[in-house]
Amino acid sequence: KVPRHLFLDAGLDHLAYLDRPLPIGAKQTISQPFTVAMQTHLLGLKRFDKVLEIGTGCGYQTAILAQMGMRVFSIERQKSLFMIAQKNLTALGYHAPLLFYGDGFAGLPKFAPFKGILVTCAAPEVPAKLLEQLAIGGKMVVPLGVESQKMVVIEKRGENEFVTTEHGEYKFVPMLE
């Protein structure tokens, strides 16, 4: 239901439904559809759950989460992409996601806790401030690593109790402070 081609430059719209990442500006990419689906699935969220997305990009993953009925808070580090995401989401009628321009490593503590945290860029290590913002029973999905990444799910089972599982190798652009 989310038209991926509308999140891309007009010259790339013919590639929109191929299962591959594509450039969106600011040396960033829109993830391939399989990766978007996998990360969304790994979150295991339900309608009305509150989710923090790190790396809004052009807004495609944000729109997917909103379409599924989640309460979305999203942070983008690149000003040009932040503005593009706002334009894309508004044009398609997605007014509920709250978008923020800022540092994804810091998260959004004043809106925490979150049932899910989805990191859409490669983190060199687990961002500690994000773990603090995860609700007990919640999950963080994050690609960890520098050159290539392992998709990691961190489930918060208690105040200081976490269970981590790995879900394959991926390639993401780096998370920026």
Dihedral angle sign, alpha carbons of residues 98, 101, 106, 109: negative
Non-local CB neighbours of 16 within 8 Å, separated by 6+ positions: 4, 5, 7, 8, 22
Structure tokens at 10: 């007009």
177 neighbors 103 (Cβ within 8 angstroms): yes
Strand 114-119 versus strand 50-54 pairing type: parallel
Among candidate residues 31, 74, 80, 148, the one labeled active-site is 31
Helices (H), the chain: 33-43, 60-67, 79-91, 128-132
Residues 171, 149: Cα–Cα separation, whole Å: 6
pLDDT the model gives residue 135: 98
pLDDT the model gives residue 10: 86
pLDDT the model gives residue 103: 95
Structure tokens at 48: 């009305």
pLDDT the model gives residue 31: 95
**Is 80 among the catalytic positions?**
no
Residues 147, 8: Cα–Cα separation, whole Å: 25
Question: pLDDT means per 10 residues in the chain (177 residues)?
Answer: 94 94 93 96 97 97 97 97 97 95 97 98 96 98 95 96 96 89
Residues 96, 70: Cα–Cα separation, whole Å: 9
pLDDT the model gives residue 21: 94
Residues 92, 20: Cα–Cα separation, whole Å: 23
